[in-house]
């Protein structure tokens, strides 16, 4: 696991955007895995800016989103479909027909999850999976106790996660109880995992995921088993890392060819 600590979320997001942009330039038919939440917003703003100002071209790409709420129509303002169109898809040239987001209204959810897995395989697998992390350590919507080898499936949200989503739905009671999420096994097959976390409230989850034991109780800890997992975090999210000084030293002393 590579842990890159930046002074703030903005600089961390710009660094993450450079990592994504490099793949987009080097591999015009790359497959990107997108996440939602507040964390990736500055990264998406940077990618939109690179598209507008530098001509970063998404026209050959395919994308897969991590998750979606069950029972929420795509047009609902708090659906992840709406989020993605509002924050990135309307502003880049990624073709609509190659955008994939789990279908929260599927009549046969297990079948649609199998189809989603198949679509990822047919696209050649995900090159970079962007991830955030929940305060309880979840990635995607793989809540604590999720199987470390799980595939795309329906999950029940924990109370903590529903509480955190309450504002978007106008109250906890209106937050859906179920979601469809890529599994931890699905995420682990991505060629690169790029996890972003900002702010003091993420510090415990970051430390447990990066330095704690690998356990289903902290789903993000499975990334310790990934050959190319990069954590890009700000100083506040790094507050509980016991080896923070070492990670900073490593970043500062990288040879030029290894810099992002």
How many of the chain's residues bind ligand GLP (CB under 6 A)? 13
Secondary structure (3-state) at 32: strand
Q: Candidates 101-109, 129-137, 170-178, 232-240 — which segment interacts with ligand GLP by CB under 6 A?
A: 129-137
Q: How far is the CB of 135 from ligand GLP (least distance, A)?
A: 8
Based on CB atoms, which residue is closest to ligand GLP, 119 or 168?
A: 168
Q: In sequence order, which residues have a C-beta less than 8 Å from that of residue 108 and are 6 or more positions away?
A: none
Strands 178-181 and 153-156: antiparallel
Is the Cβ of residue 84 or residue 94 nearer to ligand GLP in the bound state? 84
Q: How far apart, in whole angstroms, are the C-alpha atoms of residue 244 and residue 247?
A: 5
Site string for ligand GLP, 132-171 (x = CB under 6 A): xxx-----xx-------------------x----------
Q: How many CB atoms lie within 10 A of CB 250?
A: 15
Residues 190-219 that bind ligand GLP (CB under 6 A): none
Whole-angstrom distance, CA of residue 33 vs CA of residue 173: 30
Q: Using alpha carbons, select from 155, 142, 244 the residue that is nearest to residue 185.
A: 142
Determine what percent of the chain falls in helix, strand and coil, rounding each to the nearest 5: 40, 20, 40
Site for ligand GLP in 16-35 (CB under 6 A): 35
* Helix, strand or coil, per DSSP, at residue 3: strand
Please list every residue from 33 through 52 that binds ligand GLP, using CB under 6 A: 35-39
Least spacing, CB of residue 249 vs ligand GLP, in Å: 28
Interface mask toward ligand GLP for 50-69; x: CB under 6 A? ----------------xx--
Nearer to ligand GLP, 102 or 134 (CB): 134
Interacting span for ligand GLP (CB under 6 A) from 5-13, 93-101, 103-111, 126-134: 126-134
| Alpha-carbon dihedral angle through residues 12, 15, 16, 20, given to the nearest 10 degrees | 170
Residues binding ligand GLP (CB under 6 A): 35-39, 66-67, 132-134, 140-141, 161
């Amino acid at each position: 696991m590579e842990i890159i600590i930046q002074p703030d979320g903005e600089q961390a997001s710009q660094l993450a955007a450079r990592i994504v942009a490099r793949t987009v330039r080097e591999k015009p038919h790359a497959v990107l895995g997108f996440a939602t939440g507040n964390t990736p917003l500055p990264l998406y703003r940077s990618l939109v800016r690179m598209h507008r100002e530098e001509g970063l071209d998404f026209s050959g790409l395919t994308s897969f989103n991590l998750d979606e709420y069950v029972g929420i129509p795509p047009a609902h303002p708090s659906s992840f479909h709406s989020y993605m169109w509002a924050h990135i898809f309307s502003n880049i040239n990624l073709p609509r027909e190659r955008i994939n987001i789990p279908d929260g209204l599927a009549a046969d959810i297990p079948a649609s999850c199998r189809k989603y897995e198949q679509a990822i395989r047919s696209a050649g697998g995900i090159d970079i999976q962007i991830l955030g992390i929940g305060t309880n350590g979840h990635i995607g919507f793989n809540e604590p106790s999720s199987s470390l080898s799980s595939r795309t499936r329906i999950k029940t949200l924990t109370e903590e996660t529903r509480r955190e989503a309450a504002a978007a739905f106008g109250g906890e009671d209106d937050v859906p109880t179920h979601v469809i999420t890529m599994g931890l096994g699905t995420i682990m097959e991505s060629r690169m995992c790029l996890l972003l976390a900002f702010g003091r409230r993420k510090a415990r989850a970051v430390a447990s995921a990066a330095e704690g034991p690998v356990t289903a109780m902290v789903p993000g800890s499975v990334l310790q088993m990934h050959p190319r997992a990069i954590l890009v975090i700000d100083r506040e999210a790094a507050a509980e890392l016991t080896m923070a000084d070492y990670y900073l030293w490593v970043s500062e002393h990288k040879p030029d060819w290894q810099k992002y």
